[in-house]
């Protein structure tokens, strides 16, 4: 069966420090991979989307970046965090075959607090 | 992308009662999904209804879709305290998925 791992669960970082959040998927190959951010009490905002190794689409301009060094690994990074980067970050995957109507499978999320 | 609207924003009911949440959307869709999120956790897929379907059931869940009104509803019957969570409707293609603002459901024991 497929599983998705996301870590860390919580992170407190000072302004200006770097960031690296990691997400890995098991039990499937060629997944679509996503990074979302969720503000408190709100829906999700898509940050990055990947259809394959090295293929990253950015949906929202910001000081964050994403990389996909391996088929089932997705990393969210920043060189210098801003206060506004605080939030709940979620990694997700879906089947490659059909993006329309595909279910999303979410990781457990990372609560990032930038102080 | 524009956020879908969910109504109500918060709902508090007694265990055993039914809970109904509504979602309105602004674009044409191929399907609409409902997800559940426990506090501080990831979202879990509940049910998907295609645009040519009007109603779908899964256990205690019943979803309806009215494409003429661009609206969907999620009904949870015989609610339990464990149903306490936020519920989101989601629609669109993979790169333009729109998430509703969510309904926070509290089921009191």
pLDDT tens track for A36-92: 999 887 788 899 999 999 999 988 878 999 999 999 999 999 999 999 999 999 999
Could you tell me which chain B residue has the CA closest to the CA of A98? B94
Q: Is A97 left (phi over 0), alpha (psi -120 to 50) or beta?
A: alpha
Ranked by mean pLDDT, the top range of A6-20, A33-47, B84-98 is: A6-20
Chain pair A-B, CB pairs under 8 angstroms: 64
Q: CB distance from B109 to chain A under 8 Å?
A: no
Task: Dump pLDDT digits (tens) for B16-61.
Answer: 999 999 999 988 888 999 999 999 899 999 999 999 999 999 999 9
Which chain B residue is nearest to residue A43, measuring alpha carbons? Answer: B101
- Asked if B4 is an interface residue toward chain A (Cβ–Cβ < 8 A), one would say yes
Q: Are A72 and A29 in contact (CB under 8 A)?
A: yes
């Amino acid at each position: 069966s497929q599983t998705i791992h996301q870590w860390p669960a919580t992170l407190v970082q000072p302004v200006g420090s770097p960031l690296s959040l990691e997400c890995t998927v098991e039990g499937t190959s060629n997944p679509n991979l996503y990074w979302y951010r969720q503000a408190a009490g709100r829906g999700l905002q898509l940050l990055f989307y990947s259809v394959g190794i090295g293929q990253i689409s950015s949906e929202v301009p910001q000081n964050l970046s994403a990389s996909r060094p391996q088929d089932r690994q997705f990393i969210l990074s920043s060189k210098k965090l801003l206060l506004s980067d605080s939030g709940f970050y979620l990694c997700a995957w879906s089947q490659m075959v059909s993006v329309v109507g595909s279910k999303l499978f979410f990781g457990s999320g990372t609560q990032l607090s930038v102080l | 992308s524009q956020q879908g609207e969910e109504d109500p924003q918060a709902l508090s009911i007694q265990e055993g009662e039914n809970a109904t949440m509504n979602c309105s959307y602004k674009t044409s869709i191929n399907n609409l999904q409902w997800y559940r999120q426990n506090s501080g956790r990831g979202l879990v897929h509940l049910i998907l209804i295609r645009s040519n379907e009007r109603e779908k059931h899964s256990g205690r869940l019943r979803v309806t879709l009215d494409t003429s009104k661009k609206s969907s509803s999620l009904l949870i019957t015989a609610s339990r305290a464990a149903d306490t969570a936020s519920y989101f409707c989601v629609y669109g293609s993979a790169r333009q998925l729109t998430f509703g603002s969510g309904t926070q459901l509290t089921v009191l024991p």
